[in-house]
Amino acid sequence: MRNLLVGDAMASVLDLDAGTIFVGGAGAGYATPETMLLKLANRHGLVAGATGTGKTVTLQTLAESLSAAGVPVFLADVKGDLAGLAKAGSDQGKLHEPFLARAGQIGIDLTYASYPVTFWDVWGQQGHPVRTTPAEMGPLLLSRLLDLTEAQEGVMAIAFRVADEEGLPLLDLKDLQSMLVWVGQNAADLSTRYGNVSTASVGAIQRALLVLETEGGANLFGEPALALTDIIRQDADGRGVISILSAERLMNAPRLYATFLLWLLSELFEQLPEVGDPDKPRVAFFFDEAHLLFDDAPKALIEKVERVARLIRSKGVSIWFVTQNPADIPESVLGQLGNRVQHALRAFTAKDQKALRDAAQNYRTNPDFDIAETIQQVGTGEAVTSFLQPKGVPGIAQRTLIRPPFSQVGAITDQERAAIRATSPMGPKYDTALDRDSAHEMLARKTQAAAQAASVKKDDDGLFDMPAGAGRGRPYQAPAREKAAPRGRSDSIVQTFGKSLARQLGTRTGQALVRGVLGSLIKKR
């Protein structure tokens, strides 16, 4: 076997000549290698099993192997366990003896090693801030994030359309909030062009944004936005960098978690060029707690995920869904997952038993054992596996003992995480937020200009003000005797109109008339 890094821990599990990754030992005594073809890794995969059956360790070993093969990896760490990829395992660890025995049983060397890791965090606490802009996310995913109704989603789409037409960049949350205020103020005019814009819908969207802001979700929106090239890169040794998204806090906002991952998937689909079937994936994504992607998701969104999963293969992207039960994944998406690792399922209820039978039917039959029964019997670290064979043929189901990881199992200390973050080249680029001139600032200037114009117009109203004391009672004073002027022609039409207007302005009706005329002018401005 030839490894990317000769003599390291991966020499016994990575064969680049054959283009295979060693997953574990199968067959009698677990002596038969169970491998995955790198060329077919972009046909996507599934890692499923009940809590405590070994899904996390399997995810960790797959990430190690792909990284060693030069494939960048992006994964969500929902419990903090996967941070151990950044640190080599130790013979002093409590799992060393079981791992050593397992390695000997399946015929590999147990040599501990660390892997290149970059930490990311929406809140910027456990890793570099990861951001996107409302413009990049788009109205569909934002509506999904905010759980909007169909009518409210329509108003959101109108806001985005108007922002594009008016040249108002939507770069952060306050940009979107200001845009919605403007849409509400001009609802009548916009309704005639784009359809009904209800102020009630605008208010509902603003309330949803306020809740999102209160929960800290506003941190997701802003600049600098995450560049995909920064999660699709290799280190100086040619190993794929493993990007770990800290999702411990993010899991408290499951809709935000799901929306972010779906946005990332969509961005990859839209930006990456077609590469056909490469010798290995360009990037691999592991979506832990994958059921959150589909819980209460509208049909249109599920169809989009299915389409992306079906077509992104040709762009060299490998997607792995990690969940407790395959039934959590829609059938239309499940059918796109060619590589499968099924850890133990427990069938305590009738519903569980049905899910077990359905899971077993997704595998190519092995005459040596009953698949449904085996799925219930496999112990921790064991799984029923099936990987695509040459020409994309599903492999026969195998009972497999998964290889032990070479990196540390479990979390690392805060000090170790901080040290890794401090040396990361991503820090100077993302740790400091930017606030460019965008929709919020532009609309504020327009509002200020309109207010100033209204103030000028108000000053003009003074031309019609009566002098101080006008209309009050005064003592009578006899006019001085003057020489009477000769009677001439009557006042001109203009003079007559002016006098009439002056008299009229002194009345309440006239004053209301002036306020109405000037008010409409100001409003139009």
Per-residue pLDDT tens digits for 285-315:
998 888 887 877 777 777 878 888 888 888 9
Do residues 409 and 500 both lie within one domain? no
- For residues 199, 204, 209, 213, the Cα torsion angle rounded to the nearest 10 degrees is 120
Identify whether residues 518 and 369 lie together within a single domain. no
Q: Is residue 50 part of a domain?
A: yes
Sign of CA dihedral 368, 374, 379, 382: positive
Q: Residue 9: what pLDDT? A: 55
Whether the per-residue pLDDT at 210 is higher than 60: the answer is yes
How many domains is the chain built from?
2
H or E element that contains 190? helix 187-194
Query: Residue 515 belongs to what domain range?
Result: 496-525
Q: Which of 401, 425, 449 is the last residue of a domain?
A: 425
The answer on pLDDT for 263 being more than 50 is: yes
Count CB atoms within 10 A of the CB of residue 26.
23
Structure tokens at 21: 């990754």
Secondary structure class of 23 (helix, strand, coil)? strand
**Higher pLDDT among residues 370 and 468, named by residue:** 370
pLDDT band at 476; cut points 50, 70, 90: very low
Position 144 in a domain: no
C-alpha span between 389 and 18 (Å, rounded): 13
Answer whether residue 162 is part of any domain. Answer: no
160 in any annotated domain: no
Asked if residue 515 has pLDDT above 60, the reply is: no
Three-class SS state of 31: coil
- The residue that leads in pLDDT, 523 or 441, is 441
Regarding whether 512 and 410 lie in a shared domain, the answer is: no
Choose one of 366, 392, 425: the last residue of a domain. Answer: 425
Terminal-residue alpha carbon distance, the chain: 76
Query: Residue 179 has what pLDDT?
Result: 95
Q: How confident is the model at residue 469 (pLDDT cuts 50, 70, 90)?
A: low
Q: Is residue 385 situated within a structural domain?
A: yes
Q: Is the pLDDT of residue 401 over 60?
A: yes
Which DSSP state fits 17? Answer: T
Percent of the chain with pLDDT over 90: 57
Residue 13 counted as domain residue? yes
Kindly state the tokens that stand for 403: 């290889």
Tell whether 257 and 399 lie within a shared domain.
yes
Q: pLDDT, tens digit, for every residue of 320-375?
A: 999 998 988 988 889 889 999 999 998 778 888 888 888 898 899 999 999 999 99
Instruction: Write down the pTM of the prediction.
Output: 0.81
Asked if residue 396 and residue 501 are part of one domain, the reply reads no
What sections of 289-349 are H helices per DSSP? 299-311, 331-334
Cα four-point dihedral sign 477, 483, 484, 485: negative
- pLDDT score of 486 more than 80: no
In contact, 76 and 257? CB cutoff 8 Å: yes
Dump the DSSP string for 408-421: -SS---HHHHHHHH
Single-letter residue type at 146: L
**Does 406 share its domain with 524?**
no
Residue 126: pLDDT over 80: yes
Residue 515 lies in a domain: yes
> Within this chain, do residues 116 and 33 fall inside the same structural domain, yes or no?
yes
The DSSP element (H or E) to which 246 belongs, if any, is strand 242-246
263 and 114 in one domain? yes
Residue whose entry in the numeric block shows the structure tokens 């039960």: 325
| Same domain? 502 vs 365 | no
Q: With beta carbons less than 8 A apart as the criterion, state whether 104 and 30 touch.
A: no
Q: Own/partner pairs for 327-333, CB < 8 Å, 24+ apart?
A: 327/355, 327/358, 327/359, 328/290, 328/291, 328/294, 329/46, 329/290, 329/291, 329/294, 330/294, 330/302, 330/305, 330/306, 332/302, 332/303, 332/306, 333/294, 333/302, 333/305, 333/306, 333/309
pLDDT confidence tier of residue 460, bands split at 50, 70 and 90: low
Percentage of residues in the chain having pLDDT higher than 70? 85
Instruction: Answer yes or no: do 399 and 508 share one domain.
Output: no
Choose one of 390, 407, 425: the last residue of a domain. Answer: 425
Per residue in 158-203, pLDDT tens? Answer: 999 999 999 999 999 999 999 999 999 999 999 988 989 999 999 9
The whole-chain average pLDDT of the chain stands at 84
What is the number of helices (H) and of strands (E) in the chain?
A: 17, 13
Quick one: 511 and 389 in the same domain? no
200 found inside a domain: no
Read off the CATH number of the domain in which 49 is found. 3.40.50.300
280 & 414 share domain: yes
Does the pLDDT at position 85 exceed 90? yes
